[in-house]
Each structure stands twice: as structure tokens, then as C-alpha cells.
């Protein structure tokens, strides 16, 4: 099975509104579609765009798709490409426009309400922050497990997700935990090194080297308990979870097939 076959079947599935929510909620399918947007073969790019356009028809999907790492940047790149047809670029423009967050309109009444409620809002309400790291050496599941174990032991880490194909790790931490501290913990693995991913003034992603800090990092004394294997809700991470509303005869099986292909191809 090649990339064009997978993205073509995903497009056919997404043409049915009953399948769209399952595709959007499947991280492998959504992230795979984003990677297809930068594929060398124009037919793959066009097919991925049409698939994403179908998924965008439901406004409830917009926030998930907008926040998926690389989505808006990839659409922006296609809009500015001159080696593809204007029709394809126009599709990318339409999707980019529909996914942009709504602009908040402030009226005197809304400003008054904000002033009234400000008494109850503490300046410490923002107690967490999100950090995106590029991890050198994160190229297989074994290294992912090493990084996972290291992060689980750091006090102040709330949650984290991986994108092995892009060697990315997105970490949500308490506001007092520094990025340099995370880099030091990752460096202690001796097989992984971290750089912070940020956007410059032009909106392009850049990697920022992180110096190793000598300050001690507070760690958890023990890891959290996990469910036994037979009670675990996810026994096989290689398989995509299909929502009950999906058509079992064709849709569900093909989403599983596509997700498995993307997982194995991009180490998701």
C-alpha cells in the first residue's frame, strides 16, 4: 500500500459525514494527512487537501484540526507555492481561512462584564504552560519509552504527547518548571538531546539550543501505578480506536488500515 492509495481511501471515507469525526479524532490519520501536505507527489497533496476540506465542513472539528501541530503551517506553505495549480492553492486558502480562530468582538457591555468579574480572577489562574521540544535521537519506540520514563519522574510535568516522525514532544508543565530543567533531564538519558521549537517573527519554526542547567530538578520518588494488562483500555497501541457510529463494513476497517499504515510508516 502506498501513500496515494491511503490518502485516496481516506478522501473517499471522509466524503461520508458519518466517518468524519472518527478520522479527526484518530491522531494517526490526522497527523498523517498533515505530512501528506508536504509530499513530493502533487496528487497526494491534492487528495490530502480535499480530505481535510471534507473534515472542515463540520465546525466542531475546527479547533482539533487547527491545534494539530503543523496543520496551519503546512496550509500556509501550500498557499505560497508556485509549482502547483492555482485551484489546489485556492483549496488550501479556503481551508486555512475556515480553520482560523474567530475574532472576538468587544462591546462596551462585554468590557463591563469583564470588569465586574475581574475581582474573582486571580493572577495565578494561568498555572501551566506548554513547551514543544525537538528531540534528537527520538527515532524509534524504544527511545520514546526512555524519554517517557524520564519525563514521568519530573515533578511539575502534567502531560506530554509524542510525534516520533517529526522527533517532537509537546509537554504541558507547571509554570515554575523551566525548559532548561527539562533539557537537563532529557540529556541525562545519554541518548537524547532537546531543542526548543518556537516561531520567529516571520511565523517560521526555529530550533533554540537549550543549555544544561546545574540546578537540581525535583523528581517524583516513584512512578504512578498502571492498570494491569488485562484491564488496560488500550492493549494494542498499533490499532486505531474506531467510534461506534462508524460503518463497520467498509469505513471502520479502512480507517484502521490507514492508521496502521501511517503508524508504521511514520513511527506514530
Question: What pLDDT was estimated at residue 263?
Answer: 57
For residues 40 and 63, what is the distance between their CA atoms, to the nearest angstrom? 28
Question: What pLDDT was estimated at residue 81?
Answer: 83
Q: Do domains 3-101 and 128-209 have the same CATH topology?
A: no
Return the beta strands (E) in the chain as ranges: 128-136, 157-163, 168-174, 193-199, 205-209
End-to-end Cα distance, the chain: 17
For residues 127 and 237, what is the distance between their CA atoms, to the nearest angstrom? 31
Query: Tens digits of per-residue pLDDT, 117-168?
Result: 444 444 443 578 899 999 999 988 899 999 999 998 888 888 888 888 889 9
The ranges assigned to domains in the chain are: 3-101, 128-209
> What is the second-level CATH architecture of the domain 128-209?
2-Layer Sandwich (3.30)
> What is the second-level CATH architecture of the domain 3-101?
Alpha Horseshoe (1.25)
Q: What is the CA 132 to chain-centroid distance, rounded?
A: 10
Question: What pLDDT was estimated at residue 38?
Answer: 87
* Per-position pLDDT tens, the chain of length 268: 688 988 999 999 999 999 999 999 888 888 889 989 988 899 999 999 999 999 999 999 999 998 888 899 899 899 888 888 999 999 999 999 999 886 554 444 445 454 444 444 444 435 788 999 999 999 888 999 999 999 988 888 888 888 888 899 999 888 888 888 899 999 999 999 999 999 888 888 888 888 766 667 777 655 554 444 444 344 443 334 344 444 444 455 566 666 666 655 544 3
pTM score above 0.85: no
For residues 128 and 234, what is the distance between their CA atoms, to the nearest angstrom? 27
Provide CB contacts within 8 A for 242, sequence distance 6+: 22, 252, 255, 256
Amino acid at each position: 500500500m502506498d501513500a496515494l492509495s491511503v490518502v485516496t481511501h481516506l478522501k473517499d471515507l471522509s466524503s461520508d459525514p458519518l466517518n468524519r469525526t472518527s478520522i479527526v479524532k484518530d491522531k494517526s490519520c490526522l497527523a498523517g494527512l498533515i505530512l501528506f501536505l508536504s509530499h513530493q507527489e502533487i496528487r497526494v497533496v491534492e487528495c490530502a487537501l480535499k480530505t481535510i476540506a471534507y473534515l472542515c465542513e463540520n465546525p466542531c472539528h475546527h479547533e482539533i484540526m487547527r491545534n494539530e501541530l503543523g496543520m496551519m503551517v503546512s496550509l500556509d506553505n501550500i498557499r505560497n507555492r508556485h509549482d502547483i495549480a492555482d485551484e489546489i492553492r485556492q483549496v488550501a486558502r479556503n481551508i486555512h481561512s475556515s480553520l482560523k480562530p474567530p475574532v472576538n468582538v468587544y462591546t462596551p457591555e462585554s468590557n463591563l462584564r469583564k470588569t465586574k468579574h475581574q475581582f474573582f480572577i486571580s493572577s495565578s489562574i494561568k498555572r501551566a504552560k506548554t513547551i514543544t521540544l525537538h528531540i534528537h535521537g527520538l527515532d524509534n519506540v524504544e527511545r520514546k519509552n526512555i524519554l517517557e520514563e524520564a519525563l514521568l519522574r519530573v515533578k511539575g510535568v502534567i502531560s506530554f504527547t509524542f510525534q516520533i516522525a517529526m522527533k517532537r514532544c509537546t509537554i504541558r508543565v507547571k509554570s515554575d518548571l523551566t525548559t532548561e530543567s527539562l533539557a537537563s533531564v532529557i540529556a541525562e538519558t545519554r541518548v537524547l538531546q532537546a531543542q526548543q521549537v518556537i516561531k520567529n517573527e516571520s511565523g517560521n519554526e526555529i530550533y533554540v539550543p537549550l543549555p544544561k542547567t546545574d540546578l537540581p530538578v525535583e523528581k517524583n520518588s516513584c512512578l504512578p501505578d498502571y492498570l494491569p494488562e488485562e484491564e488496560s483500555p488500550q492493549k494494542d497501541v498499533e490499532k486505531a480506536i474506531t467510534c461506534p457510529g462508524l460503518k463497520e463494513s467498509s469505513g471502520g476497517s479502512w480507517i484502521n488500515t490507514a492508521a496502521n499504515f501511517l503508524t508504521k510508516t511514520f513511527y506514530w
